[in-house]
Amino acid sequence: MKKVLTGNFAAAYGATAARVNVIAAYPITPQTTIVEILSEIVANGELKAEFVKVESEHSALAACIGAQAVGARTFTATSAQGLALMHELIHWSARARLPIVMANVNRAMAPGWSIWADATDSISERDTGWMQIYCENNQEVFDSILMSYKIGENPDIMLPTLVNLDAFFLSHTSQVVDLYSPEEIDAFLPSYKPEHILDPDKPSSFGALTSPEHYYEFSYKIQKAHEEAKKVIQTVAGEFQKTFGRFYGLVDPYRCEDAECVLVCYGTIAGTAKEAVDALRETGVKAGVLRIRYFRPFPGEEIRRILEHVPKVGVIDRSISYGNRGPFFTETRDCLSGVQAGLYGFIAGLGGRDVSLKDIQGMVDIMRKDTPNPLIWIGVKDVC
């Protein structure tokens, strides 16, 4: 069944299709319609789930943690300040190996108050152990939520996933989304059956005081799970493609095969970049786009395989790691170290500033004419 849906509705329908047992969420612009539609869906009985209407995002994730530890499949959604308030529990849920799925509407951090697109919120959660996906369109939001449960709940993985969608560009923009049939979805996504749960018949204590004798190995196991996840993501992507006809890998390369310059990007900027590349190709410029879907686990090998023979690579970051470079730039440079010298880092679109076709063509111009530069601000009004 196809419907015209905003990204937020796609996220809510994704959680519904996954038949989550417990939802705990708190409203924040521009995520609000996710909790509104889920409230309706639960109230209507379309989804048999408990919806905990908590008093903060912190409690939202805490409730998901408690519920998931009992063996429930849980879902939450937030944005920016809400994600930051959850921070402590973002670490907690990953270390507790609870495959919660959370939709995060990428929004800028205050002050000044901004409700517009910016990935700094989720990138600040980089080192927590969560897997992170950046979506390009609403179909991908819906599909990523379904796939994230299957990937995260794999016994070898047991990790939570953050599914990111850009504020307004996706959250409030309507697109056609194929919702498939419930039978197909149930066949794709089995019920959640974790090995370790809170069960009075088998009393265990979770997350107790852990000495240096053991803590280190738990950290090691999370890293191993991330490495294993790269394989599981590919396998699940294959299964998904077989059932639903769409393929989602770790990365999404577009016209990279013979490209002389490639723009690496994430989120909705990729759509504009692909269009810019099409236009550039018509003028004879061999350009390509490599959209990174998974920021964690970071697909370093895939990026290297695709980009190692590309003479010029530019990374567009809708975020900045203050005092250094764009975060995707530094990560991309890391995996290209020793093979790729022509690297450009672009900062663009912070706080919802539009990144236009012209901006992207300008980036390609810089890459073709100027020497490599790790930090180039696109469109900043620093000279009057």
Q: Which residues bind other proteins (CB under 8 A)?
A: 21-22, 24, 48-50, 52-56, 58-59, 62-72, 74, 88-89, 92, 95-97, 158, 196, 198-200, 202-211, 214, 217-218, 220-221, 225
Smallest separation, CB 74 to other proteins (Å):
8
CB atoms within 10 A of CB 281: 14
Between 204 and 283, CB nearer to other proteins: 204
Using CB atoms within 10 A of its CB, is residue 198 exposed (0-12), middle (13-18) or buried (19+)? middle
- Tell me the residue length of the chain: 384
CA–CA distance, 306 with 303 (Å, rounded to integer): 5
CB of 28 to other proteins, least distance (A): 16
Shortest spacing between CB 229 and other proteins, in angstroms: 13
Q: Given phi > 0 = left and psi -120 to 50 = alpha, else beta, which region is 19?
A: left
Choice between 89 and 363, CB closer to other proteins: 89
Distance of alpha carbon 59 from alpha carbon 88, whole angstroms: 11
Nearest to 85 by CA among 130, 7, 25, 8: 25
Nearer to other proteins, 77 or 277 (CB): 77
| CB closer to other proteins out of 159 and 273 | 159
Closer to other proteins by CB, 24 or 263: give it.
24
The distance of closest approach from Cβ of residue 266 to other proteins in the complex, given in angstroms and rounded to an integer, is: 29
With b meaning 16 or more CB within 10 Å and e meaning fewer, what string describes 239-256?
Answer: ebeeebeeebbbbbbbbb
Residue 74's H or E segment, with its range, is strand 74-79
CB of 36 to other proteins, least distance (A): 18
| Closest CB to other proteins among residues 76, 138 | 76
Contact 126, 295 (CB under 8 A): yes
* In contact, 149 and 138? CB cutoff 8 Å: no
Q: CA-to-CA distance for 346 and 344, rounded, in angstroms?
A: 6
Q: How far apart are CA 31 and CA 76, in angstroms?
A: 10
Residue with smaller CB distance to other proteins, 149 or 344:
149
160 vs 326 by CB, closer to other proteins? 160
Q: CB 306 → other proteins: shortest distance, Å? A: 32
On whether the CB atoms of residues 170 and 109 are closer than 8 A, the answer is no
Q: How many CB atoms lie within 10 A of CB 103?
A: 31
Residue (202 or 369) nearer to other proteins, CB: 202
Closest approach, Cβ 120 to other proteins, in A, equals 24
Residue 293 CB, shortest distance to other proteins, in Å, is 25
Nearer to other proteins by Cβ, of 221 and 305: the residue is 221
**How far lies 29's CA from each of 82, 150, 243, 260, 378, in Å?**
10, 28, 34, 41, 27
Q: What string of DSSP letters covers 312-326?
A: EEEEEESS--TTS--
Cα 344 to Cα 371: distance, rounded to the nearest angstrom: 9
Residues 6+ apart with CB under 8 A from 145: 11, 14, 15, 17, 18, 75, 101, 103, 163
* Shortest spacing between CB 93 and other proteins, in angstroms: 10
